[in-house]
Amino acid sequence: MTTPNDTSVSRSRLWALPVLRRFAPPAEIPADEAGGIDTAGSHGAAEIVPWALPGTALRTQAAAARRGFYAPVLAGAPTTTRQAEILNTALIGPPTGTRGVVNGRDVLSRTTISHDPVTAYNSEPREVSSPNVIVMGDVGAGKSSHTKCNYVVRPLLLQGRRGVVFDKKDQNGEGEYSNVVRHYGFEPIRFTTDGTGTTLNLLDPMIARGTGVKGQTRLLNIVTRIARGDQPLNEWEEEALRAALRRTVGQAHGRVPVLADVLPNLGLVVDDDDYRTLSVTARDDLHKAGLSVKWTLNGLLDEYAGLLDGETSAAVDLSGKLTSFDISQLPDDGPAVPVIMAIGNMWMLGRLRSERTSATTVVYEEGWHMIGGPSAQLIKANQKLSRGLGISNVFVMHKGTDIPKDSPGMAIIQEAQTVVVYRQSRPEDALWCQQTFGFAPETARTIETLADGHYIFKFGSHPETHVEHIRSEWERQLTNTDEGLSVGTIF
Ligand SMILES: Nc1ncnc2c1ncn2[C@@H]1O[C@H](COP(=O)(O)OP(=O)(O)OP(=O)(O)O)[C@@H](O)[C@H]1O
Ligand SMILES: [Mg+2]
Residues 237-274: pLDDT tens digits? Answer: 999 999 999 999 888 778 899 999 999 999 999 888 88
Establish if 156 belongs to a structural domain.
yes
Q: How many CB atoms lie within 10 A of CB 171?
A: 17
Work out the burial of residue 249: count CB atoms within 10 Å of its CB; fewer than 13 is exposed, 13-18 middle, 19 or more buried.
Answer: middle
Among all bound ligands, the one having the nearest atom to the CA of 455 is 1
- Please report the DSSP string for 139-185 in residue order: TTSSHHHHHIIIIIITGGGSTTEEEEEEE--EETTEETTHHHHHHTT
Q: What is the pLDDT of residue 429?
A: 96
Q: What is the pLDDT of residue 2?
A: 42
pLDDT band at 155 (very low <50, low <70, confident <90, very high): very high
CA of 413 to the centre of ligand 1 (A): 23
Residue 153 shares a structural domain with residue 226: no
Top pLDDT among 3 and 29 is at: 29
Establish if 74 belongs to a structural domain.
no
Which of 248, 277, 305 finishes a domain?
A: 305
Q: What is the pLDDT of residue 34?
A: 44
Stretch 56-80: mean pLDDT: 67
Percent pLDDT > 90 in the chain is 57
CA of 451 to the centre of ligand 1 (A): 10
Q: Ligand 1, residues 424, 481, 490: which to mutate, most atoms within 8 A of Cβ?
A: 481
Residue 253 shares a structural domain with residue 179: no
CA of 252 to the centre of ligand 2 (A): 45
* Whether the CB of 105 sits within 6 Å of ligand 1: no
Among all bound ligands, the one having the nearest atom to the CA of 104 is 1
pLDDT in tens, 318-359: 878 999 999 999 998 889 999 999 999 999 999 998 887 889
Stretch 183-193: mean pLDDT: 92
Stretch 410-433: mean pLDDT: 96
pLDDT in tens, 429-459: 999 999 999 999 999 999 999 999 999 999 9
Establish if 490 belongs to a structural domain.
no
Nearest CA, atom 3, ligand 1: 453
Establish if 339 belongs to a structural domain.
yes
Residue 248 shares a structural domain with residue 180: no
Residue 236 shares a structural domain with residue 289: yes
CA of 365 to the centre of ligand 2 (A): 7
Per-residue burial over 290-310, b = 16 or more CB atoms within 10 Å of its CB, e = otherwise: bbbbbebbbebbeebebbbbe
Among all bound ligands, the one having the nearest atom to the CA of 137 is 1
pLDDT band at 36 (very low <50, low <70, confident <90, very high): very low
Position 45 pLDDT exceeds 60: no
Position 487 pLDDT exceeds 50: no
Residue 332 Rama label (left phi>0; alpha psi -120 to 50; beta): alpha
Q: What is the pLDDT of residue 431?
A: 97
* Whether the CB of 169 sits within 6 Å of ligand 1: yes
Contact 336, 328 (CB under 8 A): no
Position 208 pLDDT exceeds 80: yes
CA of 401 to the centre of ligand 1 (A): 22
Which of 305, 332, 355 finishes a domain?
A: 305
Position 233 pLDDT exceeds 80: yes
Establish if 356 belongs to a structural domain.
yes
- Domain membership of residue 227 as a residue range: 205-305
Position 90 pLDDT exceeds 80: no
pLDDT in tens, 277-293: 999 999 999 999 999 99
Residues 6+ apart with CB under 8 A from 119: 99, 100, 158
Nearest CA, atom 12, ligand 1: 142
- CATH classification of the domain holding 395: 3.40.50.300
Q: What is the pLDDT of residue 330?
A: 93
CA of 39 to the centre of ligand 2 (A): 55
Measured distance CA(77)–CA(56) in Å, rounded: 14
Residue 417 shares a structural domain with residue 334: yes
* Whether the CB of 328 sits within 6 Å of ligand 1: no
* Number of domains comprising the chain: 2
Contact 458, 465 (CB under 8 A): yes
Work out the burial of residue 411: count CB atoms within 10 Å of its CB; fewer than 13 is exposed, 13-18 middle, 19 or more buried.
Answer: middle
Stretch 401-405: mean pLDDT: 90
Q: What is the pLDDT of residue 1?
A: 42
Top pLDDT among 73 and 332 is at: 332
Residue 370 shares a structural domain with residue 458: yes
Residue 170 shares a structural domain with residue 219: no
CA of 365 to the centre of ligand 1 (A): 13
Among all bound ligands, the one having the nearest atom to the CA of 167 is 2
Position 28 pLDDT exceeds 50: yes
pLDDT band at 87 (very low <50, low <70, confident <90, very high): low
* Whether the CB of 148 sits within 6 Å of ligand 1: no
Q: What is the pLDDT of residue 426?
A: 96
CA of 140 to the centre of ligand 2 (A): 7
Closest CA to 396 of 190, 149, 185: 149
Establish if 272 belongs to a structural domain.
yes
CA of 145 to the centre of ligand 1 (A): 5
Residue 189 shares a structural domain with residue 234: no
Establish if 383 belongs to a structural domain.
yes
Q: Which atom belonging to ligand 1 lies closest to the Cα atom of 145?
A: 18
Residue 414 shares a structural domain with residue 450: yes
Residue 246 shares a structural domain with residue 346: no
Q: Which atom belonging to ligand 1 lies closest to the Cα atom of 148?
A: 18
Q: Which atom belonging to ligand 1 lies closest to the Cα atom of 169?
A: 27
CA of 104 to the centre of ligand 1 (A): 14
* Whether the CB of 141 sits within 6 Å of ligand 1: yes
Q: Which atom belonging to ligand 1 lies closest to the Cα atom of 480?
A: 29
CA of 450 to the centre of ligand 1 (A): 12
Stretch 29-39: mean pLDDT: 46
Q: What is the pLDDT of residue 454?
A: 96
Establish if 52 belongs to a structural domain.
no
Top pLDDT among 98 and 445 is at: 445
* Whether the CB of 140 sits within 6 Å of ligand 1: yes
Nearest CA, atom 7, ligand 1: 453
Residue 190 shares a structural domain with residue 210: no
Which of 280, 305, 330 finishes a domain?
A: 305
SS3 314: coil
Kindly report the average pLDDT of the chain as a whole number: 85
Nearest CA, atom 14, ligand 1: 140
Stretch 160-187: mean pLDDT: 93
Name the least confident of 17-26, 359-368, 457-466: 17-26
* Whether the CB of 469 sits within 6 Å of ligand 1: yes
Q: What is the pLDDT of residue 463?
A: 86
Residue 354 shares a structural domain with residue 474: yes
* Whether the CB of 371 sits within 6 Å of ligand 1: no
User: What amino acid is encoded at 158 in this protein?
Assistant: L
Q: Ligand 1, residues 103, 145, 399: which to mutate, most atoms within 8 A of Cβ?
A: 145
Q: What is the pLDDT of residue 42?
A: 43
Closest CA to 421 of 145, 166, 167, 142: 142
